[in-house]
Chain A
Amino acid sequence: MDRVAIVGAAQTAFSEKKVALTFADMAYDVTTRALEDAGMTIADIGNIVTVSNDFWDGRTISSMAVGDAIGAAYGDGKNISTVEGDGTFGAFYGLARILSHSYKSTLVVAHSKASEGDPRLISNALFDPLYERPMGADRVAAAALQAQVFMQEKGVSLEDIARVVVKNRKNGAVNPNAHRKEAISHEQALNAKPIALPLKEHDVSPMSDGAAAIILAGESVARKTPHPVWVKGVAFAADAYYLGERDLSESPALRQAAQKAYAMAGVKDPAREIHAAEIYDEFSYQEIMWLKELGLTGSALPVNASGGCLSAHTVIVAGLVRMIEASLQIRGKAANQQNGIKTALAHGQNGLCGQSHCVWILGN
C-alpha cells in the first residue's frame, strides 16, 4: 500500500442540542479547522468524501446540505462522493480515492444531529420492515439482547461493565469536546435507572449533535505537512443481518477486520504493539466485547482515553472521532494524553449490535 497519512483533523464539541447550528455550519467549522490543522487551504484539497445519513438528517440526499460549506463548488468544483454509515467507512473510501492515484488528498467530513430526529424511530428503521420492525425494538433494545447473551456466555458481570462506564466517564470529564462531562462512581453506574436490562442509564451512550473532519494525504503531500499520522493498516467487514442468525456473544466480522488490518500493518502481537485504542463503545459492554475480538483483552493499553462514545456519541461522526483521538494520541496532543503512544487503533461500527466494523491502525 502507498503511504497515506492523516494530515489534519477537527471535531466540534459534542452536545445534546446545537440549536444555533445547521448541518452546514457544523461542517464548515470542522472543515476550516481541519485545513488550518494541516496548514492547507481548500485549494489544496484533491477531492471530498462526505459522510451522512438521510434518516438522521430527515432529508433525502443528506450530503446536499453540506456541499457549499465544505468546498464542493470551490474553483472549478471538486470531485466529491458520499458514504452513508460510520465515518470510519467514509475515511476508508477517502483513502481508496488516494490509493487509486486519482487524487493526492481527500477531505472527509461527517455530520449528524440526533436532536433533530427521533433516535428510537430511526434505529427501529434498521430492522427489517416485514419481519422485525413491528416489534418496536430500537438500537438500545437490540443491544440489551446482545449484552445479556455476551455477559452470560463470556462470564462478564454487571460490575465489569460498570467499570467501563466509570473509566470512560472519568476520561470524558477531561475532554473539552465531551457531551457528558461528569465522572460517574461505580455505585452510580451500578444503581442507575434501568433502560433495557442489563443496560442502565450510563451503559448507554448519549445521542449527541456534532461533526468531524479529517484530511488524508498521499506521501508527497503529507511529507510537507507539520504532523502527519500514518495509516498502517485498515479493513472492514460485515456480519449477517438478522440478529437471530448471529451468535450475538461474538463478532466474527470484527475479528476478521482486525486480523486484516493487523496483517496490513505488520502487527503480530496487537496487545504489545498497539499502544492506545479508541473503541466505538456505543454501550459499555461493547468495549469489553470489541477488545476481545481485537485481541486486546488483558493488555494494559489505554482504551478510550477520550472518554469514548459513552461520553459523546454522534452517530455517523463517532468513528471519525475515534480516528482523530487516536491520531492526537500519536501526535502527543490529546486532551488526556497518554505516554509513549507510537501506534494506535481506531474502531468504528455500523448497524445493530455491531453488524459491521472498520478497524484502522495508525502510527507515527
Chain B
Amino acid sequence: MAKRVAIVGSGQTDHTGSRPDVTGVELINEAVNRALENTGLTRADIDGVVVGNMDHFEGINGVELWSMDGHGGQLKPVIKLTTGGTTGSTLAIGGYHLVASGMFDRLLVIGWEKNSESDTTGAITTAFDPIWDRLVFAGAISGLAIDAMHYMHRFGITEKDAARVAVRDRKHALNNPHAHVRKEISIEDVMRSPMISDPIKMWDMCPRTDGACAVIFASEDVAEKINPKPAWVWTTANRHLYSYLGDVKTYPIESLERAAKEVYRKTGIKEPLKEIDVMELYLPYSVAGLSWIEGLGLCGPGQAPKLLWDGVTDMGGELPINPSGGVISTNPIGATGLIRAAECALQISGQAGARQVPDVKVALSTGFGGCFWSDILVYGSKKPNFI
C-alpha cells in the first residue's frame, strides 16, 4: 500500500568554492554523517540509498557505486537519479516516490557536486544537441541572459529591479552557516559588478560550489518516531518540456507554470502568496526571482518587482523566499535542488536556526535545469489526507 512520506532530517556540508581537502566520496560522507546525526539514525537504520550529480562535472561514471564508502550503501539498494540542474529536485521527488511506494521506510537521498574539479560551462554545453544547438550555445549564462532580456523588455523591468533579488538572497545568506557566498551587498554593488552576459552581472549570478546534501525520507510508519515535527511531502510535479533550445518559450516559463498548476490543484492551494509560508526556489540568477515567481502565481505578469521592493519576499515579509540565501549564494549543482527540499523541511521542523521563518505550515521548493525545465515539491506540517 502507498504510504505518506516525510522528510525527517538532513545534513549539508559547509558549502564553499573549493574543497581540496576532501574527495567527492568524503564530501558525501560529511553530509551523510550530519544527516544521521540530525536524525539520531545509524547507517544500519537506512534501507536504501539514492545518489545524484552530473557525470561530466567530476568525470565519474557510476557515482552511486563509486561513492559506496561515503554513503554506506553496501548490501543495500543503491540507485542513481540525474536530470542536470534539476537533479537535486529529481532526487527529492525520487525520495518521495520510492518511500511512498511502501518499499522503503528510511531512505537516504544524496545530491552532491564538486564543481572545483570541473569545467562547469564546458560540461553544461555538452547537454545540447551536437548538431543543432551545441555550436551556438555558450553555457548556462547566455541562455539566462536571453530569458532576462525577454522579460525585462516586455514589462520595462530594470536591472535595479533584478538587483533587488540578489540583495535579498545575499542578505538572507548571512543567516545560513552552510552558505557559500556570505556577503551583504547593495543595489549599487550589483550594478557596479562586472558584466558577464548582458544584462547579467557578476552579483546577479549564482556561484559554482563544492558541496553535498543528504536528506532522509521516511514513511508514515516511522517518521514521527524519528522527528516529532517532520515535513510531510504533500505532492510533487515537474515538466521537462524541451529537447532543443530553439523551442524554449522563456516568458512566461511554461514548465514552471504547468507544474505549479498541478501542485496547486493536487493540494487545493488557491492563493499561493497567502497560503504558502516560505519558499526555497532554484533561482540561478536575479531576474528569475522576478519572472519565475509570476510563473508560480504569486502575482500578475510584470508585477513581481513591486512584491520585491515592498519586502513581501524578505525575511519578516508575507512570504519569505530563500531564507537560506538561495542558489545565488550556494550552488553545488547536483545538490542544489535537494538543498531547497532540505531547507523547506528545516523550516517546517523548526530547525532552521537564524534563518527560521516563524510558524511554517506550508512550504514549496523548486528545481530548475536542463532546457528550461522545472520541478516543484510542496511540504506541510500536517500529515496529508491525500496521496
Contacts and interface: CB of A to CB of B under 8 A. Distances in A.
B94 A238 contact: no
Contacts of B238: 79-81
Interface residues on A, range: 35 or more
Contact size range, B: 35 or more
Interface in A235-294: 235-241, 252-253, 256-257
A43 to B, nearest CB: 16
Given A67-B243, A100-B96, A235-B77, A126 B83 contact: no
Interface stretch (A88-96, A184-192, A328-336): A88-96
Contact of A77 (B69, B130, B255): B255
Nearest to B79: A89
Interface in A17-49: 24
B1 A100 contact: no
A130 to B, nearest CB: 7
B44 interface: no
A236 B243 CA distance: 31
A208 interface: no
A229 B96 CA distance: 26
Contacts of A24: 243
Given A59-B126, A63-B83, A73-B242, A101 B77 contact: no
Given A73-B242, A99-B101, A236 B79 contact: yes
Nearest to A241: B68
Contacts of A125: 59-61
B72 to A, nearest CB: 11
A351 interface: yes
A54 interface: yes
Interface string A93-126: 1011101111000000000000000000011011
Contacts of B1: 2
Contact of A123 (B61, B77, B243, B254): B61
A83 interface: yes
A30 to B, nearest CB: 17
A252 B75 contact: yes
A126 B61 contact: yes
B127 A238 contact: no
Contact of A85 (B64, B67, B100, B369): B64
B244 interface: yes
Contacts of B60: 125, 129
B81 A84 contact: yes
A211 to B, nearest CB: 15
Nearest to A89: B79
Interface string B21-61: 00100000000000000000000000000000011110111
Nearest to B90: A81
A3 to B, nearest CB: 12
A53 B126 contact: no
B62 A54 contact: no
B96 A82 contact: no
B75 A238 contact: yes
19 contacts: A54-B54, A60-B84, A61-B370, A63-B240, A63-B370, A64-B240, A65-B243, A69-B243, A79-B236, A82-B81, A82-B83, A82-B90, A92-B79, A99-B103, A100-B97, A101-B387, A236-B78, A238-B75, A355-B62
